[in-house]
């Protein structure tokens, strides 16, 4: 009996032992592969961090050098100022990219990042303006001198951190993993070094960057909506009036309560199912977006039908004097941009983006925040100093014009300027060219898709 049992069990046990050995071997190999991949990823991350940090240190040196060049030349050297400031803009842009590649979740560097951001905006906007007619002011020269001295100190501190990292053979991945570690990094040199740089930047005297740069960081909802705050009850009434539905079908939630960005979201329900949402400003209770959740079917409506329905919809909802200025179609959806028309001038800052379903061409939503924040007053349109013929003479002779109109746009300095907008083709592509109606300068050029052309009035010969 024991012999028969032994004869049966022995091969079974042998197979189990062999299986266990094979399984254990496979598990060990898998652990080795996982460990190898993790090690490879760690090396790759470390190399990326090291490269970003050393490039950042190098660009801080270059930044100091270019700022020095800008303040070393005569105040009337406009061409050199423009060249230096464009170099400063390029370098700060690269430095910002490198900062974003570092593990800054454990290293406070916000003040230094803000300084780079402001300097980038200042250098670009100053370089692109006509320095022959609007040269650097005494305040701007003083700012450049201050930035030159500050950048010298920042560059020195970065070099000190760099030398310590190299001499101690420190690893950036240790810093990156610090938040999830019980003990933290073995050496805090990198973190302490960046803290020192950021604290010094924080202690610098705040510069007056000028209105063009300040406008980039302005909070439009706070600056331009000088209206009293409304409560959730008023929002419910506004939403009911907009949709034509009873207030009992609408629920309201407040977003960002207690902050300057506070707003409301109103949701329309049908048999306990949400069918549409609306966002309102807390100040004044202005509608800034609407979204209909209905399912969109196959495309049947034409472009002209979608534009016609969208125009009628805006008119019915109280948005008067809106003109379609661009059209973009993706699948069974269309996005149509409208802008206010005042007299014969298109006011581009006051725009509304309308979404339409091309199954029937009807509106399924819109975004009106630009319109709400900019449509706070009736603009006084300046008189054009150039006539149409003089503006057209500034175009490339090979440009084939298809339409023209007057337009008020925001230029790169965030100033509103009156322009002649010319639409047409050159080199096989469609462009919109905006010629300043006072100076004849090309304010901006846009390349557009075939479908993006608006229903514009044809230009005269």
Mean pLDDT of 166-175: 72
Q: Is the pLDDT of residue 461 over 50?
A: no
Mean pLDDT, the chain, rounded, equals 82
Round to whole Å and give the CA distance between 390 and 388.
6
Residue 74 phi/psi, 5-degree rounding, is: -65, 150
pLDDT tier at 456, thresholds 50, 70, 90: very low
Percent of the chain with pLDDT strictly greater than 70: 79
Q: State how far the Cα of 423 lies from the Cα of 404, in Å rounded to an integer.
A: 6
pLDDT digits (tens, 9 = 90+) for 258-305: 666 678 999 999 988 999 999 998 888 999 999 999 999 999 999 999
Q: Which of 94-108, 284-298, 331-345, 353-367 has the lowest mean pLDDT?
A: 94-108
Name the least confident of 92-101, 166-175, 225-234. 166-175
What pLDDT digit, counting tens, does each position of 425-454 carry?
988 889 999 999 998 988 889 888 765 555
User: For residue 316, is pLDDT > 50?
Assistant: yes
Residue 242 has a CB neighbour count (10 Å cut-off) of: 18
CA atoms within 13 A on the CB side of 21: 6
State how far the Cα of 392 lies from the Cα of 405, in Å rounded to an integer: 11
pLDDT in tens, 45-84: 677 777 878 888 888 888 888 898 988 888 888 888 888 8
Residue 353 · residue 363 · CB < 8 Å: no
φ, ψ of residue 331 to 5 degrees: the values are 65, -125
For helices 2-72 and 78-100, the axis angle rounded to 10 degrees is: 160
Least confident of 111-120, 279-288, 343-352: 111-120
Q: What is the number of other CB atoms lying within 10 angstroms of the CB of residue 45? A: 16
Q: What are 319's two structure tokens?
A: 């948005």
In order of their start, the domains of the chain are 36-217 (no CATH), 232-374 (3.30.310), 388-452 (3.10.450)
Question: What contacts 254, CB < 8 A, 6 or more positions away?
Answer: 232, 262, 263, 264, 282
| pLDDT score recorded for residue 455 | 47
Cα 452 to Cα 429: distance, rounded to the nearest angstrom: 12
pLDDT of residue 183: 46
């Amino acid at each position: 009996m024991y012999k028969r049992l032994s004869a049966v069990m022995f091969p079974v046990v042998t197979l189990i032992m062999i299986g266990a050995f094979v399984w254990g071997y496979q598990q060990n190999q898998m652990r080795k592969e996982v460990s190898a991949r993790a090690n490879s990823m760690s090396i790759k991350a470390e190399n990326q961090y090291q490269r970003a940090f050393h490039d950042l240190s190098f660009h801080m040196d270059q930044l100091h050098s270019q700022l020095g060049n800008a303040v070393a030349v005569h105040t009337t050297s406009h061409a050199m100022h423009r060249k230096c400031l464009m170099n400063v803009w390029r370098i700060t842009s690269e430095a910002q990219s490198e900062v974003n590649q570092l593990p800054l979740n454990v290293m406070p560097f916000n003040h230094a990042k803000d300084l780079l951001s402001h300097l980038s905006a200042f250098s670009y906007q100053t370089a692109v303006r006509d320095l022959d007619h609007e040269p650097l002011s005494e305040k701007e020269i003083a700012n450049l001198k201050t930035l030159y001295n500050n950048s010298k100190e920042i560059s020195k501190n970065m070099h000190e951190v760099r030398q310590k990292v190299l001499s101690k053979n420190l690893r950036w991945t240790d810093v990156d993993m610090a938040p999830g570690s019980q003990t933290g990094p073995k050496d805090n040199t990198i973190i302490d070094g960046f803290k020192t740089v950021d604290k010094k930047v924080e202690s610098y005297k705040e510069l007056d960057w000028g209105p063009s740069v300040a406008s980039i960081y302005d909070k439009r909802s706070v600056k331009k909506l000088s209206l009293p705050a409304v409560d959730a009850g008023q929002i419910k009434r506004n939403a009911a009036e907009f949709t034509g539905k009873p207030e009992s079908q609408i629920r309201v939630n407040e977003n960002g309560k207690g902050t300057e960005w506070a707003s409301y979201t109103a949701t329309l329900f049908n048999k306990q199912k949400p069918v549409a949402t609306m966002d309102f400003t807390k100040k004044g209770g202005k509608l800034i977006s609407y979204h209909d959740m209905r399912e969109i079917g196959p495309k049947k409506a034409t472009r002209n039908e979608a534009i016609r329905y969208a125009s009628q919809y805006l008119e019915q909802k109280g948005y008067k004097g809106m003109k379609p200025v661009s059209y973009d179609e993706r699948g069974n959806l269309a996005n149509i941009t409208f802008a206010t028309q005042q007299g014969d001038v298109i006011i581009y800052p006051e725009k509304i983006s309308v979404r339409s379903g091309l199954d029937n061409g009807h509106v399924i939503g819109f975004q009106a925040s630009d319109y709400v924040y900019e449509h706070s007053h009736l603009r006084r349109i300046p008189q054009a100093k150039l006539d149409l013929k003089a503006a057209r003479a500034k175009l490339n002779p090979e440009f084939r014009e298809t339409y023209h109109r007057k337009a008020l746009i925001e230029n790169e300095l965030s100033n509103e300027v009156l322009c002649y907008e010319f639409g047409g083709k050159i080199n096989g592509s469609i462009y919109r060219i905006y010629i300043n109606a006072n100076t004849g300068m090309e304010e901006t050029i846009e390349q557009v898709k075939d479908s993006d052309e608006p229903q514009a009035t044809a230009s005269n010969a």
